[in-house]
Structure 1
Amino acid sequence: MPKGSAALTKARREEIVQACARLYETRSFREITLKEIGEQTTFTRTSIYNYFHTKEEIFLALLQQEHEAWNQDLAALCQSHTTLTAEAFAEALAHTLEKRTCMLKLMSMNLYDLEANSRLENLAAFKREYAATLAALQHCLEVFFPAMTGEDRQAFLYAFFPFLFGVYPYTTATEKQKQAMDLAHIHYPRYSIYTITKSLVAKLLQPFQ
């Protein structure tokens, strides 16, 4: 780790992660290189290695930030309402996720690579944030659906979080994928992250309102 203040270290890590995020908006994980990420920063490319050892560690930090942002939205959801119906909660939760396209894309397409090629301390930091996300959503269920038992909440989480790993591919397709589906005569319904999430959550929570 380079010499300097903790604030400088945090700022430089943030700059690297945001450079990665910008590239990921239009490029695939496979296409993006450490060199390209470095070219988007204000310091030398080799300095990146003082903060991240691999490209995967940068993307893992980006995924961690996405979870942090989602946690804040979940906390705000609990604080801004006292009661919500299953339908209203499903709408609100779906809105928090439609802003997290980057998170869902990374979870569905690149998570195993990120975890396999990151140092243990970086992976543990991400897992702590992931655990905080689980806890934040569970707290929402406790607030808005008091009829749910601990087993009910656990069942919801184990249905909802695996769903998160697959929702992105069902709502986003490349032109090549669309052409292939046309040639295979497969109907491709156009559903959004919001629409699919709202439908699932409303059905899961309907018995508890």
Structure 2
Amino acid sequence: MPKGSPELTNARKEEIISACKTLYKDMSFKDITIMKIAESTSFSRASIYNYFETKEEIFLAILQKEYELWVDDLNEISNRHESMTKDEIADALAASLEKRALLLKLMSMNLYDMEENSREERLVEFKVAYGRSLKAVDNLLQKFCPDMDDTARREFLYSFFPFIYGIYPYTVVTEKQKAAMDQANVGYTYYSIHDLAYICAKKLLEG
């Protein structure tokens, strides 16, 4: 890591992360390289390696930020309400995930590569943010669902979180995929991120 103020280091990291995030809007994960990211920043490819060893570490940093933003949203839900019905909780969880399409995309499509090709310290930083999201949802359940004991809350968490890993592929389907499903007589019924998250959360909360 080059010498410099923490502010400068963070600013350069943010520039790299922002450039990668922008590229990911129009390019696939496999086609994005450190060189392409560097071309979208104010410094060289060699300079990027001072902050991230692999492109996967950059993507992991994006995912970490998405989790941090989700935690902020979850905490805001808890702080904004004195009481909530289970239907309102399900709707609020669904709405919070609807804002985090990038989180869902990265989780469902690229998580293994990001974790496998990142240094352990970077992975720990990410897992801290992930752990905070588990805690934030658990806090919502403790506050608004007093009928749920520790076991019930744990079962909700370890059903809902694995479920959301698969939301993105079911809600973002290309015309090619739709045509293939039609030809295979599978058919396609559109559900939004909110639709699927709400249905799952409500069923789990209702037991």
Range of TM-score over shorter length: over 0.9
* Structure 1 residues 33-44: aligned runs within 5 Å: 33-44=33-44
Local SS of the residue matching 1:181: helix
Q: State yes or no: 1:201 paired with 2:201.
A: yes
* Structure 1 residues 17-166: aligned runs within 5 Å: 17-166=17-166
Give me the whole-angstrom Cα distance separating, in 1, the residues matched to 2:30 and 2:186. 27
Question: How many residue pairs were aligned?
Answer: 207
- AA aligned opposite 2:171: T
Give me the whole-angstrom Cα distance separating, in 2, the residues matched to 1:34 and 1:188. 37
Give me the whole-angstrom Cα distance separating, in 1, the residues matched to 2:129 and 2:163. 19
Query: Deviations for 1:103-130, whole angstroms, at most 9, x for unmatched residues?
Result: 1011111111000000010001101111
Q: Cα distance, 1:200 vs. partner? A: 1.0
Q: What residue in structure 1 maps to residue 173 of structure 2?
A: 173
Q: Cα distance, 1:44 vs. partner? A: 2.1
Query: Is the CA contact (8 Å cut-off) linking 2:66 and 2:100 kept in structure 1?
Result: yes
Matched residues, percent identical?
Answer: 53
- AA aligned opposite 1:123: L
Give me the whole-angstrom Cα distance separating, in 2, the residues matched to 1:96 and 1:52. 29
Q: Cα distance, 1:171 vs. partner? A: 0.6
Query: Deviations for 1:102-161, whole angstroms, at most 9, x for unmatched residues?
Result: 110111111110000000100011011111111111001101101110000000001101
Q: Cα distance, 1:182 vs. partner? A: 2.1
Give me the whole-angstrom Cα distance separating, in 1, the residues matched to 2:154 and 2:135. 11
Deviates more, 1:37-46 or 1:62-71: 37-46
- AA aligned opposite 1:185: N
Give me the whole-angstrom Cα distance separating, in 1, the residues matched to 2:74 and 2:83. 14
Query: Is the CA contact (8 Å cut-off) linking 2:178 and 2:187 kept in structure 1?
Result: no
- AA aligned opposite 1:165: Y
Deviates more, 1:49-58 or 1:31-40: 31-40
Local SS of the residue matching 1:141: helix
> Root-mean-square deviation (CA), in Å?
1.0
Give me the whole-angstrom Cα distance separating, in 2, the residues matched to 1:20 and 1:163. 27
Q: Cα distance, 1:84 vs. partner? A: 0.6
- TM-score, with length taken from structure 2: 0.97
Query: Deviations for 1:33-65, whole angstroms, at most 9, x for unmatched residues?
Result: 111111111222321000001010000000000
- AA aligned opposite 1:12: R
Local SS of the residue matching 1:30: coil
Give me the whole-angstrom Cα distance separating, in 2, the residues matched to 1:200 and 1:41. 41
* Structure 1 residues 183-194: aligned runs within 5 Å: 183-194=183-194
Give me the whole-angstrom Cα distance separating, in 1, the residues matched to 2:34 and 2:142. 43
